[in-house]
Amino acid sequence: MSTQEAENPVARQPASDIAKVPFGRLVRVELRKMYDTRAGMWLLIAIGVITLAAVALFLFFAPEAELTFNNFVGVTATPQAFLLPVLGILVVTSEWSQRTGLISFTLEPVRGRILWAKVVAVMLLGLVAVVLLLGFAALGNALGTSIQGGDGIWTFGAEGTRDVAILQLTGILSGLAFGMILLNSAAAIVLSFVLPTAFGIFFGIVTSLADAAPWIDLGTAQRPLFEHTMQGEDWAHLLVTGLWWVIIPLGVGAYRVLRSEVK
């Protein structure tokens, strides 16, 4: 009995020599995931439609003296503040609910790179949202001046833009953190609304903890951002509450994604 030997054995390439998927490509894929699913597409459409509807309602029903660029920014930022965190949640949970995570983690086995790509993608989306809300606000202010005879004040400045950007990025990153921790869309969406609301109600009722609220409750710490009156201690409040509500949850969520079994 004889055995055959391969005349030209195929040399296997070491895994370390295989080129990694470029990080920019991972970010582009994560951005595409935000709109190429039904949930993501309709959520983006809803954000645009509700924002325009809010501008139209404020334009025709607000007093003329209130038709300023700053007020229009507040109107356009409100629906985004509610819906952008949901989009951040779906960036993670859609892969686990639709079972596409197996494909993602097979094509890119280093899960940490995918998580960083998700973080960069949602931050880019948050910045795009800031640009769009400023554009909608400018359109509303221009129409308010020409149609409704509004004051048309354009005072806003770099500080206002900075504050709005911080609010939007904090919201969408917080949603991403909730999504990574729970890995379930419904649970993460409910908890992302209920938990901050519960803390706000608690500190609103228990007035004896008013001094501690800015160090614990993110909504309380963010109030100066809405009023564009951030001072030294306000930044400390924001950093500490951002640690509780964004940084630590992101770390916990990343640990769970890295350790969870993909089915």
Per residue in 120-150, pLDDT tens?
A: 999 999 999 999 999 999 999 888 888 877 7
In angstroms and rounded to an integer, the radius of gyration of the C-alpha atoms of the chain is 23
Q: pLDDT digit string (tens) for 203-246?
A: 989 988 899 999 999 999 999 998 888 988 999 999 999 999 99
Determine the pLDDT at residue 162.
92
Answer whether residue 16 is part of any domain. Answer: no
pLDDT value for 101: 74
In a domain, 3, yes or no: no
**Which residues neighbour 145 within 8 Å (Cβ) at sequence distance 6 or greater?**
67, 151, 152
Instruction: Classify residue 140: in a domain, yes or no.
Output: yes
- Asked if the structure places residue 6 within a domain, the reply is no
In this prediction, residue 5 has a pLDDT band, given cuts at 50, 70 and 90, of: low
Task: Tell me whether residue 9 is in a domain.
Answer: no
Percent of the chain predicted with pLDDT > 90: 54
Domain total in the chain: 1
Mean pLDDT over 103-120 rounds to 90
H-helix or E-strand spanning residue 130: helix 111-146
Contact between residue 44 and residue 34 where contact means Cβ atoms under 8 Å apart: yes
pLDDT at 10 over 70: no
In a domain, 4, yes or no: no
| Overall average pLDDT of the 153-175 stretch | 90
- DSSP letter (8 states) at residue 147: T
Cα separation of 57 and 54, whole Å?
Answer: 5
- Give residue for tokens 């005072």: 155
247 part of a folded domain: yes
Section 165-186 average pLDDT: 93
170: domain range? 22-259
Q: Tell me if 225 is assigned to some domain.
A: yes
